[in-house]
Structure 1
Amino acid sequence: MSSFPYLTVLTVAPLVGAAGIAFLPKDKPELAKRAAFGWSLLILALTVGLWLQFKPAGERFQFRESYTWIPQWGAKFTFAVDGIALVMIALIALLVPLVVLASWHDADKSKRSVPAYFALLLALEATMIGVFAAQDVFLFYVFFEVMLVPMYFLIGSYGGHQKQYAAVKFFLYSLVGGLFMLAAVVGLWVLGGHTFDWQTLVNADFGVNAERWLFLGFFLAFAIKAPFFPFHTWLPDAGGAAQAGSAALLVGVMDKVGTFGILRYCLPLFPNASKHFAWLGFTLALVGIVYGALVAIGQQDLKRLVSYTSIAHFGFIGIGIFAFTTQAGTGAVLYMVNHGLATGLLFLVVGMLVSRRGSALVSDFGGAGKLVPVLAGVFFIAGLASLALPGTSPFVSEFLVLIGTFTVNKTVAVIATAGIILAAGYVLWMIQRTTQGTTNPKLLEVKAMSRDLSLREAAVVTPLIALIIVLGFYPKPVIDVINPAIKATMTDMHVTDPKATAGTVEAGK
């Protein structure tokens, strides 16, 4: 195992880049853009090195680093990654340079500083990597709260319609959830032997009642962050107001902290409470699948529509987590990755369409495919990935979730399957109304609608499309990384797979 401090460098390096870019002169926007893109590529290269040196068959947590922080509290800067954290960090490292490239002109239209915008993107990257890499509960909580700050300014300062309202709503919802988590973190420290070390707390006995209350404190914070129904109302506002690149990171990665938190903290630390409240997780997830899809069908704003589809997708992740099988759990984590790829692509393509039309309203498009056929084709591919068409990566994860859930709860799996039909409805409706049919006469008056996919935009979408297709046919490399971590989580919960599913996702079997 390499002694290089990958996780510390990956957390600190984006902050260093952000600080340098923030102090660049405002009259040098191109320099800020190039610096942000180059720095994000450096982070991607380091992450590739981390991935290549990770051993799926090795120890559960690898690249562990621990530094003294607040000895009176037993808090430490402890970083480590298992397969679940690794794939999420890889997703972050991939999306950020693509978002920087896609957002090349987003800040130009505002009266705010262009260097500050790209500095905020790198600062957000640092906090997101930190929250997935943290193995100290208090450190996790700090990153969980601090990552709100750059996103708040990305929405409130650089967003579109009702940006300030959306930014405040996003911040307040997350802050309230964080307060519940803070209370649970304090309780965890008191009852767990005055330590925040994850490994020590996994082996602690909190008692039945205390465990349930601690579980609810963490779960509520994570349910708001994900978000699960009925804590979802901030997401359409934030996703609709944010620039497309910021929205891609918000929905594609940042929201996954909620589902990651349930897997990393709720299930292993509070296994009995997790089993006791599994019905609650199933209920919120199922309602979210149906509700998110139905509301998405009626949306007139493209960015709000994509945001509502994500509420439905998070429902599938939720049932995969609470099924407590290796198959469903692996499918849930794979869904987290594939949702980031597919929804990230969808948000970025929507942003390209909106920047040309000057509007996100579905009614302002119509027949756009005749004017920008290549961009419309990419939009179609992104939509098919979002509805989990076979041959795209989301289908694999959705299939694993449903199969793994069906073995333990057929009713939940059947109801969730109905969401697939609804997904086809809102995606095909969106594509039909925007790119197909008779061309909207007003589109012909918009000069920008004559520009098809540019070279820069092609560089943004090509890697995402390639990964969606490759992982749709060959997901084994990612599954092999995720599966051991899910098995270890099931062991922490003292549950075993039903005989019909045991070992079915091992190494491509």
Structure 2
Amino acid sequence: MATSSLPWLTLSIFVPIVFGLLVLLIGRDDNPGPARVLSLIGSIAGFLVTLPLYTGFNPHTADMQFVENRPWIETFNLNYHLGIDGISVWFILLTSFITIIVVLAGWEVIKSRVAQYMAAFLILSGLMIGVFCALDGMLFYVFFEATLIPMYIIIGAWGGPNRVYAALKFFLYTLMGSLLTLIAYIYLWHESNGSFDVATWQHLKLNYSQQIFIFIALLAAFAVKVPMWPIHTWLPDAHVEAPTGGSIVLAAVMLKLGCYAFLRFLLPIAPDASHSLAGLMIVLSLIAIVYIGLVAIVQDDMKKLVAYSSVAHMGYVTLGFFLFNVTGMEGAIIQMLSHGFVSGAMFMCIGVMYDRLHTRRIDAYGGIINRMPKFVTFFVLFSMANAGLPGTSGFVGEFTVILGAVQFNFWVGLLAATALMWGAGYSLWMLKRVAYGPVANENVSGMKDINGREYLVLGLLAIMVLFLGIFPSFFTDLMHPSVNALMQHVAISKL
């Protein structure tokens, strides 16, 4: 394993957390300016310390890099064990980038308890990065569960009228699934003679019954987090009630925690069970793509529409995982990254409109291009990306998964490809009703175009959507060795 001269992973985790704690210390409700400035400095610093993970990364090996391993709780053989490969490095960079976006998005919008709001996102950023680089099972579990706390507070304190219900539903859904996963981790610890090392778990010789148990136990937590159909119902409520920043992080990063856990735990630890239950997982994924896409079309709330579209897009991710070919797997990972940028941008656009009109109902808008032409330019781009337009990141991920599905089974690929129509349907139907035509009412006629801060946020997201869409090899080249190693590992029967 490659090691690093500086503890870059520890810095990536704790720089935003420390800045979050400092923001809490200096924050004052009567003077929120210093808290905002320190939060921005902290988010930028958090992004800068993740950059060496890319610049110093060796793209020619599947070994873990930047490894840190030291004793944590020696009584139970727990270690502070961190490391990244060509898959996890991108999600750490995505997390630190989105944190900057969220701080800028809430700069003027959040009026009350500004320091607490900004600090919650900085601390959440560090915890999510911890999930992506933990190589000790219990350390992963601690980070994985700890992310619930800041997001619960964000939704419950700064959300909409039904924020308490949405926050509690979010918390209970994700926590209940995780309890069964904890049992699975303890079982793996026992089977590995007292080790929580993820690599050790991945090479255990488990029989078929043991693998089925592990698969179901891990799926209980990871499927909720994705979220997969039919345990997705917490997501629309959470998105509708969350503040704009909460929706951005929830869609862009938190949904990826469950997807990433499939790659790090479920598939490599229980490969035979994964193969035998692949048909079920593919069916559930296709239901999410087709059925939830149809549900999204009939929504009259913009946030709820985009929330349901997230469930459909995550269906492509889980579909790609269980095709068991490199094309489908890499397409799923690219779809995860793309969805992070596109969904974050869509929720930012909805937040921009909500800040002006204080409603998310589609029928309350109409003709905003007459008042906000700069904004609509971005809105069109992101809506097209959400629909999978070639040249945008939305196309690359879904198209690659479809290619992998055709390699697996032509009819599975055809059904997944046909479902792209629903993405175009709900994205363009919403765009038409909101942006085009004559000005629908006098409230719309008073809307002002985006300011410099909003322009910067939307511009950064637009750059990433186009860059990933035009140069996907920039991302895939780094993940090739890790994906190939994972596919080889999963292809080897442990029975």
TM-score, normalised to structure 1's length?
0.94
| Aligned residues of 1:292 and 1:310 also touching (Cα < 8 A) | no
Match of 1:44 in 2: 47
Letter of the aligned partner of 1:455 in structure 2? G
Match of 2:477 in 1: 480
2:230 aligns to what SS in structure 1?
Answer: coil
In structure 2, C-alpha distance between the alignment counterparts of 1:400 and 1:214, rounded to whole Å: 29
The number of aligned residues is 490
Cα offset, 1:280, TM superposition: 1.8
| Aligned residues of 1:148 and 1:171 also touching (Cα < 8 A) | yes
| Aligned residues of 2:4 and 2:65 also touching (Cα < 8 A) | no
2:39 aligns to what SS in structure 1?
Answer: helix
1:23 aligns to what SS in structure 2?
Answer: helix
| Aligned residues of 2:331 and 2:401 also touching (Cα < 8 A) | yes
Match of 1:453 in 2: 450
Match of 1:466 in 2: 463
Letter of the aligned partner of 1:168 in structure 2? L
> 5+ residue gaps in structure 2?
none
Per-residue CA deviation, residues 17-67 of structure 1 (Å, 9 max, x unaligned), is 111001222222111111111111111111112111011103521001012
Match of 1:98 in 2: 101
| Aligned residues of 1:215 and 1:266 also touching (Cα < 8 A) | yes
Match of 2:177 in 1: 177
Q: Which moved more, 1:186-195 or 1:122-131?
A: 186-195
Match of 2:91 in 1: 88
Letter of the aligned partner of 2:135 in structure 1? Q
| Aligned residues of 1:60 and 1:488 also touching (Cα < 8 A) | no
| Aligned residues of 1:372 and 1:453 also touching (Cα < 8 A) | yes
Q: Does 1:11 align with 2:13?
A: yes
| Aligned residues of 1:324 and 1:495 also touching (Cα < 8 A) | no
- 1:50-65 maps to which residues of 2 (within 5 A)? 50-65=53-68
| Aligned residues of 1:368 and 1:443 also touching (Cα < 8 A) | no
| Aligned residues of 1:232 and 1:311 also touching (Cα < 8 A) | yes
Cα offset, 1:203, TM superposition: 1.2
Cα offset, 1:467, TM superposition: 1.6
1:104 aligns to what SS in structure 2?
Answer: coil
| Aligned residues of 2:226 and 2:257 also touching (Cα < 8 A) | yes
Cα offset, 1:415, TM superposition: 1.1
In structure 2, C-alpha distance between the alignment counterparts of 1:22 and 1:481, rounded to whole Å: 37
1:60 aligns to what SS in structure 2?
Answer: coil
Task: Give runs of ≥4 in structure 1 deviating > 4 Å.
Answer: none
- CA shift in 2, pair 1:228/1:89, >3 Å: same
Cα offset, 1:107, TM superposition: 2.0
| Aligned residues of 1:374 and 1:452 also touching (Cα < 8 A) | yes
Root-mean-square deviation (CA, aligned residues, Å) is 1.3
In structure 2, C-alpha distance between the alignment counterparts of 1:27 and 1:441, rounded to whole Å: 37
Q: Does 1:212 align with 2:215?
A: no
Match of 1:119 in 2: 119
2:66 aligns to what SS in structure 1?
Answer: strand
| Aligned residues of 2:325 and 2:404 also touching (Cα < 8 A) | yes
Per-residue CA deviation, residues 72-108 of structure 1 (Å, 9 max, x unaligned), is 2221111000111100011111111011101112321
- 1:49-448 maps to which residues of 2 (within 5 A)? 49-108=52-111, 112-444=112-444, 447=446
Q: Does 1:28 align with 2:31?
A: yes
TM-score, normalised to structure 2's length?
0.97
Cα offset, 1:408, TM superposition: 1.3
2:466 aligns to what SS in structure 1?
Answer: helix
Cα offset, 1:15, TM superposition: 1.1
Q: Which moved more, 1:64-73 or 1:424-433?
A: 64-73
Cα offset, 1:281, TM superposition: 1.2
In structure 1, C-alpha distance between the alignment counterparts of 2:444 and 2:386, rounded to whole Å: 29
In structure 1, C-alpha distance between the alignment counterparts of 2:193 and 2:450, rounded to whole Å: 58
| Aligned residues of 1:11 and 1:129 also touching (Cα < 8 A) | yes
1:72 aligns to what SS in structure 2?
Answer: helix
In structure 2, C-alpha distance between the alignment counterparts of 1:257 and 1:483, rounded to whole Å: 20
Give aligned-pair identity as a percent: 36
| Aligned residues of 1:346 and 1:382 also touching (Cα < 8 A) | yes
| Aligned residues of 2:368 and 2:444 also touching (Cα < 8 A) | no
| Aligned residues of 2:357 and 2:444 also touching (Cα < 8 A) | no
| Aligned residues of 1:7 and 1:79 also touching (Cα < 8 A) | yes
Match of 1:492 in 2: 489
